[in-house]
Amino acid sequence: MSQEAAAMSNEAVGRRGVLAAALGAVGAVPVLAACDSGTDTPKTPALEFRSPHVTDAPSARNVRDFGAVGDGVADDTAAIAAAAAVPGGVPLVMYLPAGHYNVTSWPELSDYATVLGDGADVSVVNCMTDTTLIALRKRSRVRFARLGFYLAGPKATAVLLSECFRCSFDSVVIRGNHITENFPRYRDQRGIVLENNTGGTAILNCDINNFGYGIVTSCIQNYVTSSKLTSNYVGVLGTGNDHNAGLALTNVEFVSDSDPHTTDKHIVIDGAANDWWLTNVWFEGADIALSIGRPGQGGPAQFGMINCKVAARSVGLDLIYCRQPYLANVQFDKDLEKPPIELRIDPAGCPEGTAVNLISTAAEDLYPSTFPPRWHVLGRTSIHAPSFTGTMVAKAGRGDSDVFQTQAPDGALRSAILASGAWLSEQAEGGIVLKDASGGYWRLSVSAEGALKTMSLGKTRPRE
């Protein structure tokens, strides 16, 4: 059983404790070790073990057949390169059986190549050099599945996709070496980098952990689904400031511990970008969970969060610049005992937006002052709308219920529009206020005997 699995089996340890226990081993040995043999030497998997998913594919090229050892000691770089060298025009299917494969580089892959393992915790590629391990340029539909990659170089990048289309990562673990104890040595480590209009990338059921930057994208129309980003200093960076970077995240979890050296921010969009959509995403363990846009530089054209949970130490969601933010069913929580600023909106950079059913663990609804005046806010107990245009229609309910009511802060009824359409003032000193031709205001009221009377209010518009 791996160190991470062993740590997580201890039910007495809380969730954060489990996380810290699991990741604390990174500095000592690769945390993707397949099993614990009781010694410092990784256990060598049985050579005859073959994945049934791969043996069914006649064209699969087993790296063991080309000299790879997979014992965590030998250098398997040349053997994997030989396995990847297929004749031109033949799509590669390469298989890494369970084992630990030490490499210093990765071979170039052709279009439609498939690289498979037996599981992200047992088919593990270790790279100790300061390099970009997997670099795909102008490639289509390259697929990685059931593999683990561990990067130890302080400036290493695990995967770079440039001008690539429809590549995918399925059940892949990509892990760097960034932890609290070695900060800031691995701040420049990067997990997956998407650049130069790479599109259609699918990151499915993956783990991207312990990098300075987990995912860096300057492209749009890429997708992260059912995945987890753990203890990255910055989980996702949208960059370029050219109105292009965008990402869709669905059923994704961002987690870390409470140490500020481990995770600063989970998502950062650092300038003019394209569309960002987050659905069913969980955030905890960062100083600022999401930082959207940059003052004077811009931000996303659209930014949406639906059914998300946001916890942070200082700020949950920092909306600095965004043309069209949309927030729906978002819960804000705290990471530490002191509640954070749950939602911070720069009125200059985000003057307009929509918020529906935002809830807080500290209060029933977020304070109205949180939102700039031109935001449309639908809370559980109130509605704030900057303006209504066109004809407004209100219908009475069943029976003699009022069409409309105005109430005092304590809930006392002030006035109403009855089901018949008649207007009713519930205050004797209320009545109707009229403005005369010369600009003076008059209150129209009725005496106990039913006589109408007027009272001058001067030329200052009354507030009560």
Say yes or no: 368 and 443 in one domain. Answer: no
Contact criterion met (CB below 8 Å) for 178 and 189: yes
Say yes or no: 339 and 428 in one domain. Answer: no
Q: Which of 350, 384, 418 is the last residue of a domain?
A: 384
pLDDT at 444: 86
Contact criterion met (CB below 8 Å) for 248 and 222: yes
pLDDT band at 229 (very low <50, low <70, confident <90, very high): very high
Distances (CA, A) of 347 to 267, 370, 445: 21, 10, 42
Residue 26, pLDDT above cutoff 90: no
CATH number of the structural domain spanning residue 62: 2.160.20.10
Does residue 58 fall inside a structural domain?
A: yes
Write down the mean pLDDT value for the chain.
Answer: 86
How do 383-384 and 376-378 pair as beta strands?
Answer: antiparallel
Does residue 28 fall inside a structural domain?
A: no
Does residue 305 fall inside a structural domain?
A: yes
How many independent structural domains does the chain possess?
Answer: 2
Measured between alpha carbons, how far is 141 from 112 in angstroms, rounded to an integer? 5
Does residue 443 fall inside a structural domain?
A: yes
What pLDDT digit, counting tens, does each position of 319-351 carry? 999 999 999 999 999 888 788 999 999 999 999
pLDDT band at 364 (very low <50, low <70, confident <90, very high): low
pLDDT at 17: 37
Say yes or no: 378 and 408 in one domain. Answer: no
Say yes or no: 134 and 201 in one domain. Answer: yes
What pLDDT digit, counting tens, does each position of 416-425 carry? 888 878 888 8
What pLDDT digit, counting tens, does each position of 269-328 carry? 999 999 999 999 999 999 999 999 999 899 999 999 999 999 999 999 999 999 999 999
Residue 387, pLDDT above cutoff 60: yes
Measured between alpha carbons, how far is 64 from 96 in angstroms, rounded to an integer? 8
Q: Which of 328, 353, 384 is the last residue of a domain?
A: 384
Does residue 34 fall inside a structural domain?
A: no
Does residue 39 fall inside a structural domain?
A: no
What's the domain range around 429?
A: 404-458
Does residue 129 fall inside a structural domain?
A: yes
What pLDDT digit, counting tens, does each position of 212-224 carry? 999 999 999 999 9
Residue 415, pLDDT above cutoff 80: yes
Mean pLDDT on 370-394: 86
Instruction: Return contacts of 455-461, CB within 8 angstroms, 24+ apart.
Output: 457/433
Say yes or no: 416 and 374 in one domain. Answer: no
Say yes or no: 295 and 442 in one domain. Answer: no
What pLDDT digit, counting tens, does each position of 85-118 carry? 998 778 999 999 999 999 999 999 999 999 999 9
Neighbours of 63 (CB within 10 A): 25
Say yes or no: 319 and 451 in one domain. Answer: no
Residue 40, pLDDT above cutoff 80: no
pLDDT at 362: 61
Lowest mean pLDDT among 48-57, 255-264, 369-378: 48-57
What pLDDT digit, counting tens, does each position of 170-218 carry? 999 999 999 999 999 999 999 999 999 999 999 999 999 999 999 999 9
Does residue 367 fall inside a structural domain?
A: yes
Q: Tell me which of 32 and 161 has the higher pLDDT.
A: 161
pLDDT at 5: 41
